[in-house]
Structure formats: structure tokens, C-alpha cells
């Protein structure tokens, strides 16, 4: 029997309403998807849920750790309970720049686990049901560091490069089985709470529209999911008009 319920979308790495994770959740909720938002901070998730509910159906909130297999399996199961999981977005993980010789091995491991291992866990949990339907989209948030490692970014660059290669492998294995795997290189500073907290005088430092707006990135995620399989994009890069590259 065909499942007639509305499709669901799972967004991992949701925090502040001003962040990319919440923006992605808003985009899919506004498009009619049943949305599950997952992250570690209950307070931020509640704020994000209010933001999503303002444009679509209220999302389901799941608190947990993207580096724990049991939590990720729970996230996927909660989305499937709402409707067939149509798209899963991995947006988790931060960046703690540091001179290489001062990098604590635990910090290096934390970066890899959040970005690369978390993506691996999401794919392993989401793919079986998507394969049953021979349809679905996996979207992975990359960064400038996915392509090149700058000084003081060794932990972040290693993790993002691993994520990119994981996405490539998944695309080559599962694309022919009906699963769209996309990797988005976010090449620039995202205008959110995290950047505003660490960049002094951001408005003066960047030209107008000189930072990536989360809702505009989210529009691209929705576009990727809606692409016809005769013209799938695996990797694209997004950057502000004023960003050098």
C-alpha cells in the first residue's frame, strides 16, 4: 500500500533561529513538509521550533547528539513516524580555530565526529528506508575548508574534507539507486549568531550582503531536493558577491 502521508524532512544541527539549520527547517516547513529539528540545546531548539511554526506546521523537536548512533536512529525514526522521510540535512558541527601545535587531540576528534562521523551515522540511518522507496535526498553542509585548509583550521579542514569525500562516495553508490546526494560548499561567513559573537563590527567589516544569509542558503537546499533526477547537482558552492575566491 502506498504511503499517502505528507513527506517528512529531518534537519540535524538546529540551534538559533538565525542559524542555517533553522532556516533549512523553515524552508521545508513552508513547502509543506513535516519537519523534525534535532540538536543538543533544548532552549535553542524551542526557539527554533517557534520560528518554523510561524511559516508552516510546527516541527517535532528532538534533543540529542549527532555523534551517537542511537540518537541519530531516533531522529530518523521520529521523521518516518510523521511521514516518509524525503530529505535529511546534515548541518551539525562547529569550528574552533587554533594554531596546530596547540590543538588538543580531543578537539581534533570532536571536529571529525561532529562533521564526518555524524554525516556517516545520518546516512546509515536514513538510507535503508529511502532505498525501499528508491527516492530521497541527503544534503551535507560543507565549507571553504572542504576544499582547502587554511592556517589554524587543521581540525575543521580535516573534518570537512572527510565529509566531502563521504558525500562523494555516497553519491556514486546510491545515486544509481534513486538517492540524490548533494554537498554544498558554503564559501564565506554565514550571518548568524555564531559569526556575530566572534566577529567584531561585522556590519562595518562586510559589504552589504557580504555575508551569506541563512534563508537564501536554505532556498538552495530546497531547490536541490526538488531537482529532477535527469539533472541532479552533486556539489555546488555558495558565496557572497563580494567574497574573493
If one counts the domains in the chain, the total is 1
- What SS3 state is found at 149? coil
With bands split at pLDDT 50, 70 and 90, how would you rate the model's confidence at 1?
low
Residue percentage of the chain with pLDDT more than 70: 100
Residue percentage of the chain with pLDDT more than 90: 91
How much is the pLDDT for 126? 98
* Mean pLDDT of the region 116-141: 98
Alpha-carbon distance 27 to 18, whole Å?
Answer: 13
In a domain, 57, yes or no: yes
How much is the pLDDT for 200? 77
pLDDT tens readout for residues 89-115: 999 999 999 999 999 999 999 999 999
In a domain, 149, yes or no: yes
* Mean pLDDT of the region 185-205: 86
pLDDT tens readout for residues 34-90: 999 999 999 999 999 999 999 999 999 999 999 999 999 999 999 999 999 999 999
* Mean pLDDT of the region 160-165: 98
In a domain, 245, yes or no: no
* Mean pLDDT of the region 131-158: 97
Q: Are 139 and 87 in contact (CB under 8 A)?
A: yes
In a domain, 64, yes or no: yes
Q: Domain containing 195 — which CATH number?
A: 3.40.50.720
pTM of this prediction? 0.96
How much is the pLDDT for 30? 98
Element (H, E) at 119: helix 118-133
Which residue range forms the structural domain that includes residue 166? 8-236
Query: How many Å is the Cα radius of gyration of the chain?
Result: 17
In a domain, 123, yes or no: yes
In a domain, 109, yes or no: yes
Alpha-carbon distance 96 to 215, whole Å?
Answer: 24
Q: Are 57 and 34 in contact (CB under 8 A)?
A: yes
Residue 95: name the closest of 16, 157, 38, 45 by CA: 157
Amino acid at each position: 500500500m502506498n504511503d499517502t502521508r505528507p513527506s517528512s524532512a529531518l534537519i540535524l544541527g538546529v540551534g538559533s533561529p538565525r542559524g542555517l539549520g533553522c532556516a533549512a527547517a523553515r524552508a521545508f516547513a513552508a513547502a509543506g513538509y513535516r519537519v523534525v529539528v534535532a540538536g543538543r540545546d533544548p532552549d535553542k531548539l524551542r526557539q527554533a521550533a517557534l520560528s518554523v511554526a510561524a511559516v508552516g506546521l510546527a516541527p517535532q523537536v528532538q534533543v540529542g547528539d549527532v555523534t551517537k548512533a542511537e540518537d541519530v536512529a531516533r531522529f530518523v525514526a521520529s521523521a518516518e513516524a510523521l511521514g516518509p522521510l524525503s530529505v535529511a540535512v546534515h548541518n551539525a558541527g562547529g569550528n574552533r580555530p587554533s594554531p596546530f601545535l596547540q590543538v588538543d587531540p580531543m578537539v581534533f576528534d570532536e571536529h571529525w565526529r561532529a562533521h564526518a562521523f555524524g554525516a556517516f551515522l545520518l546516512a546509515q540511518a536514513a538510507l535503508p528506508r529511502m532505498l525501499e522507496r528508491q527516492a530521497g535526498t541527503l544534503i551535507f553542509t560543507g565549507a571553504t575548508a572542504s576544499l582547502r585548509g587554511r592556517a589554524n583550521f587543521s581540525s575543521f579542514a580535516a573534518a570537512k574534507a572527510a565529509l566531502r569525500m563521504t558525500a562523494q562516495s555516497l553519491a556514486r553508490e546510491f545515486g544509481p539507486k534513486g538517492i540524490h546526494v548533494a554537498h554544498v560548499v558554503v564559501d564565506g561567513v554565514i550571518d548568524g549568531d555564531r559569526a556575530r559573537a566572534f566577529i567584531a563590527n561585522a556590519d562595518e567589516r562586510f559589504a552589504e550582503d557580504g555575508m551569506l544569509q541563512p534563508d537564501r542558503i536554505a532556498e538552495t537546499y530546497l531547490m536541490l531536493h526538488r531537482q529532477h533526477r535527469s539533472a541532479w547537482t552533486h556539489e555546488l558552492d555558495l558565496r557572497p558577491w563580494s567574497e574573493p575566491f
